[in-house]
């Protein structure tokens, strides 16, 4: 097995987990409303999405308000996931492997 395919696949799975957790956190926020911070499932999703949102807050300029960070994080994760899918396709073709 080729190590580069394994690494791309592993990073892609981590991005999928973070993206799905972000979607779940958003849906739960819509359902729970103001009481979302008392919800234990919301807290779990907040732990999962926290590092990605902190990273996006770090790389974005200060004029972007904190309320927009989750949406921006989701779109960045989505495009990173697409880029890794293209990279995986390229690596599979390079190694002559059917993926």
- The model's pLDDT over 24-43, given as tens digits with 9 standing for 90+, comes to 999 999 998 888 888 899 99
Using alpha carbons only, give the angle 59, 68, 40 rounded to the nearest 5 degrees. 100
Average pLDDT for the chain: 93
Of all residues in the chain, the percent with pLDDT exceeding 90 is 84
- How far does the chain reach from its first CA to its final CA, in angstroms? 12
Q: Identify the pLDDT of residue 1.
A: 74
The overall pTM is greater than 0.95: no
pLDDT in tens, 84-99: 999 999 999 998 888 8
């Amino acid at each position: 097995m080729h190590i580069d395919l394994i690494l791309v696949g592993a990073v892609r799975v981590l991005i999928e987990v973070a993206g799905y957790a972000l979607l779940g956190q958003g849906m739960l926020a819509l359902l729970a409303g103001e009481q979302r911070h008392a919800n234990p499932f919301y807290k779990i999703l907040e732990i999962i999405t926290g590092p990605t949102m902190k990273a996006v807050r770090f790389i974005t300029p200060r004029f972007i308000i904190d309320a927009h960070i989750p949406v921006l994080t989701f779109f960045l994760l989505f495009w990173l996931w697409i880029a890794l899918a293209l990279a995986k396709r390229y690596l599979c073709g390079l190694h002559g492997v059917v993926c």
